[in-house]
Amino acid sequence: MANKRKIINDPVFGFITVPGDLVFDVLQHPYLQRLNRIRQLGLSFFVYPGAQHSRFLHSLGAMHLMQEAIAVLRQKGIDISHQEGVAAAAAILMHDIGHGPFSHVLEHTLVEGLSHEDLSLLLMKKINEQMGDRLDMAISIFKDDYPRHFLHQLISSQLDMDRMDYLCRDSFFTGVTEGSVASARILKMLNVVDDRLVVEQKGIYSIEKFLVARRLMYWQVYLHKTSVGAEQLLIKILKRARELAHRGVELWCSPALHFFLYHDVSAQDLFSDERVLERYVLLDDSDILSAVKSWMSAPDVVLATLSSLFTNRQLFKVRMLEEPIREAEREEMRSTYQQRLKVDKQDADYFFDEYSVSKDTYSVQDDSIAIMFSNGEIKDISEASDMLNMQVLTKRVIKHYLFYYRLQ
């Protein structure tokens, strides 16, 4: 019989232990292995060349932190059974399996109305069927149906193991040290009161640093204007390929990508048609990258030009806007692209557009971060902190951009 207790060497946390047969079998499933072929940070490698790590590696890290958190809670007298611990580890290991190539690009182009969270749950249920319902408890914890709510909070809340891993991991691989967080100290400060995850008072400064690091990582990495411009360029490429496909133009691409280009697929189709779902789980970054590289020589000027820009990292330029551009400026840009690229007015719109991004750092809600003081009093971090400007952290920041192809 194969040894299913494995030790994996992780560059961020050191040695990660696979806790047994159930988690090992989930790790080996094709749905999980597919995450090896999907970058965690999408197109951020155009800005930070080290950002090549996969969603599989992130999932492993989140599983490791889950095991560490449960060990700490057990030491503090919280009764967590072996089965619950394994189920929680399996649940967070699977939390990202619904993601498509380059994060949210497919959600804007090839599949209408797609939510990767809903798709992750669907794929979990498929794995569970194939594994003889051994993941019932893991899915129950993931859905917050399990009677012990704090286990779900470790998977999905404002201080979950998912966020803690991606901040540590993404700051490591990008080299953005401002994003690093004291994960080990935060874990040591965790506790449970009335089925709610809390942080002991001694950990308040680490939580403040965690929130500030998250804000910096969003605007310095996740929503970096060049990454946003690269993503918009890729979306334009896929939209053009889809338009050509609907005209009957045959484009070279993998069978999985071909299906989504040449068929109108909605999120509902993924849930109702097994064949559509099986094609989706064959999609990964390599399908997109190889197709875009081949489309550099496409007869269509728009597709060939956009694909060449992307492949050779001649990305859309990005300009911050105080207000939407005037129609006169929009017409001037259209006219320039028409003349220089020999395209019609409608096709000129592929070379520029406006886009808005928004993000808040912290939301005061049911699963907000609770601080437990030495006298047993519990306060939200927004009340407990004497340093954080919670008006800044809770305010939704909106930035407006114009992205465009700068002609040589």
pTM, entire model: 0.93
Instruction: Calculate the average pLDDT of the chain.
Output: 92
Phi-psi region of 331 (alpha: psi -120 to 50; beta: other; left: phi over 0): alpha
Cβ atoms of residues 318 and 225 within 8 Å: yes
Per CATH, the number for 7-222+365-396 is 1.10.3210.10
**Cβ neighbour number for residue 380 with a 10 Å cutoff:** 15
Collapsing DSSP to helix, strand or coil, 345 comes out as helix
Cβ atoms of residues 315 and 226 within 8 Å: yes
Task: Show me where the domains of the chain are located.
Answer: 7-222+365-396
| Residue 391 confidence (pLDDT) | 65
Q: Which of 61-70, 185-194, 252-261, 352-361 has the lowest mean pLDDT?
A: 352-361
Counting residues of the chain whose pLDDT is more than 90, the rounded percentage is 79
| Residue 366 confidence (pLDDT) | 59
Sign of the Cα torsion 175, 176, 181, 182 reads positive
Find all residues with CB under 8 Å of 274, minimum gap 6, and list them: none
pLDDT band at 169 (very low <50, low <70, confident <90, very high): very high
Residue 256 buriedness (CB in 10 A; 0-12 / 13-18 / 19+):
middle
| Residue 349 confidence (pLDDT) | 94
Residue 391 identity: Q
Q: What is the end-to-end Cα distance of the chain in Å, rounded? A: 63
| Residue 368 confidence (pLDDT) | 84
Q: Which of 145-149, 310-314, 388-392 has the lowest mean pLDDT?
A: 388-392
| Residue 80 confidence (pLDDT) | 97
Residue closest to 131 by CA, chosen among 22, 33, 34 = 22
- Say what angle helices 301-311 and 327-341 make with each other, to 10 degrees: 100
| Residue 390 confidence (pLDDT) | 65
Retrieve residue 21's tokens.
């047969």
* Dist. CA 342–CA 339, nearest whole Å: 5
| Residue 364 confidence (pLDDT) | 66
* Dist. CA 47–CA 45, nearest whole Å: 5
